[in-house]
Structure 1
């Protein structure tokens, strides 16, 4: 009898999973997106069926080789679809995110600052020497070169919900760092060829391409948040040409100069100048000033904010944005949202097996990442449904107060946490944020996904 009851519970859970995935795919109109992303398989098996099955595989915590096959197609068929170089996986993720955002729009306050968030993460592949475009990549946490890729990700946030909207699997252009096989094609006339050439370009250039593609797909945003790895006058200028304001952390470099009151300073020199002046330090930050940045003869204003760890004169962070109308408190609060993409990386790796792909082809890995991101979109949607009280009938439209944004003090705590990274690991902090994210999910979702050991 216990075995029978366990089987019944398992069947019920599988049916609930299928129902949940089916509702989500219908909500975003996944079946209608196939032609838009160049899916040209001549059979009764649709792209929506393949992705729905892959999402159930993520929930079951199985690899593609150990997953339960679908009644309508074999696992080999699913792998063939993932490996199809004609499918534009980046565009698919953009369109899915744009659809979800349009559904959320009625409950997003019009005063809310919508923002893109950019970051990259290590996609380790230590035992896949023959994988296409596999390379030696630098791990900033361990400070050593590892085998794998850099997973460049573009996310979207309204201050409550984070959605991955675009991605690129970055390799290397140095032949000495290339470990895996060479790209099977570099023909720029094909999607597969452009995807592989993109993997070998500079990450900042690819970031601008991903943002531009997301904007053209209908993803609304006015800001772009990034850490010091992406921050430069060039990045600020390129984003300004797209109609976006960048907001990031500036490196304390002695090679980049800014004009302040008709004199040039590097960022450390500017801090020393302000510290030596009679400007009083504020309660939540040290100093704030507007400087002039330059890129290829173009000049534009940049607002910089110095945030310091209390009790320390040498440890401070420097935030900067081209939106000079923002107050220092608003700049700190906005930058605090950048932590959401770290939560996504942790969730996708620990619960959805983002870096556990066993696929050898480069196209297949891109398809796997896209399906993982779409699965996370489902989780984010369910979390929003479970958190938002305005989902009861007409109240969803009548009570149009949006969920509260991150408080200023919380953003300040986040910045202090980043300062602590200089001396200690932040694994515990990320785990705490991840735990809070999981607790807010519906009970069904919590039962479906289990942490990766």
Structure 2
């Protein structure tokens, strides 16, 4: 029986996300066998700029704000979900986000794409909000057997609605907080902002790295029950008046453990640096179609997974065989001193970006002129 053109179109459309999830889940199962059950592994969500600034006719390209350069560029937001055990990072899934606003999109989606294909669904997904796509990636990873229950993300995703939805997925959220005037927390029967909350707390004396911690209310769940979370304030050793605030939805977790686990989020920053600088993400591709960019990004992520496995095999003696697995100690988890160094690095970068923005605003030759 002859195959119709429409059927061939569906059969030839690759499901790159499923391929990446199958590959990463198999690798994670192998790596989890190398560590004890006490080791806490985490899921990390973050986005990074996928620049196509020199392209004019790339499908679904949009004007995206570059937080490093503080200007809009042409490209996508590469929303990525990854797994880490403190030593190895494995990317699970990603989405190249365009813009939900029509005025921000430079090119629209190809209207001839079959609606039954995975390519069409990826295009629809690219025009959704990042917080909505985040949980679609999470649900698909859980469907592939990824049972990790700790979710890390930075301050760009720290909104009560996002945290409450993650709690509904039975996830323990650990995230950085922004000192926004519009975000309030319920403390002692009053709604206060983050700086106000910090001013109300009694700080630890001496040169303690953790200044204070407190349990607050962040909102109500779907049943109307108040959801509580712990906020941990960390000192900046170089700037005594500066502090960082971390939120954890597990109020029983120790302060030191909250700080230590959040430090694992640095692994995704290393991942972004590696795929852009060394694996030539978005640099070796000249295609204009959205499918080609998805396929190329999946191949780059698969390359990184291969390098992660090779690095683990060379560094972990437990990978040499069952005898070595029984006799050798597992690789050490990330330590508190390293975590503090990572947090201070993030704070220094944030302060430097804020200082540059303030300088640009005061300059007579700023962006507005």
Say whether the 8 Å CA contact 1:113–1:222 is kept in structure 2.
no
Q: Does the CA-based 8 Å contact 2:24-2:90 persist in structure 1?
A: yes
Q: 1:181 to 1:235 in 2, by over 3 A?
A: closer
Which residue in 2 is equivalent to 1:204? 131
When structure 1 is superposed on structure 2, of 395-404 and 142-151 the one drifting more is 395-404
- For residues 280 and 185 of structure 1, the distance between their equivalents in structure 2, rounded to whole angstroms, comes to 66
Q: How does 1:44-63 map to 2 (within 5 A)?
A: none
Question: How big is the shift at 1:187?
Answer: 6.6
The question of whether the paired residues in 1 share the 8 Å contact of 2:172 and 2:248 is answered with: yes
Q: Does 1:294 align with 2:222?
A: no
Q: CA deviation at 1:112?
A: 1.0
2:175 corresponds to:
248
Deviation, structure 1 residue 281: 6.6
Aligned to 2:251: 324
Per the TM alignment, residue 85 of structure 1 is displaced from its structure 2 partner at its CA by 7.2
Distance 2:274 2:175 in 1: 24
- TM-score by length of structure 1 reads 0.72
- Over 3 Å counting, the alpha-carbon distance change for 1:355 and 1:396 in structure 2 is farther
Matched residues in 2 for 1:194 and 1:405: separation? 38
Number of the residue aligned with 1:23: none
Unaligned runs of 5+ in 2: 1-6, 354-369
1:128-180 Cα distance to aligned partner (Å, 9 max, x none): 21110011100000100001111111110011110000000000122221112
- Counterpart contact for 1:254–1:266, Cα < 8 Å: yes
State how 1:37-436 maps to structure 2 within 5 Å: 86-184=13-111, 189-274=116-201, 277=202, 280=205, 283-295=208-220, 297-310=224-237, 312-356=239-283, 357-399=285-327, 401-424=329-352
Contact 1:183 1:196 in 2 (8 A): no
Contact 1:187 1:194 in 2 (8 A): no
Q: Any stretches of 5+ residues in structure 1 without a counterpart?
A: 1-40, 43-79, 426-453
Cα offset, 1:189, TM superposition: 4.2
Query: Number of matched residues?
Result: 345
Cα deviation code 1:216-244 (max 9, x no counterpart): 11123111110000111111111111121
Q: Which has the higher strand share?
A: 2
Q: CA RMSD in A?
A: 2.3
Cα distance between partner residues in 2 of 1:396 and 1:233: 46
Rounded to whole Å, the distance in 2 between the matches of 1:417 and 1:333 is 15
- Label 1:86 to 1:396 Cα distance change in 2 as closer, same or farther (>3 A): farther
Residues 315-372 of structure 1 show CA distances to partners (whole Å, capped at 9, x for unaligned) of 2111001112211111111111111101111111111111212121101111111111
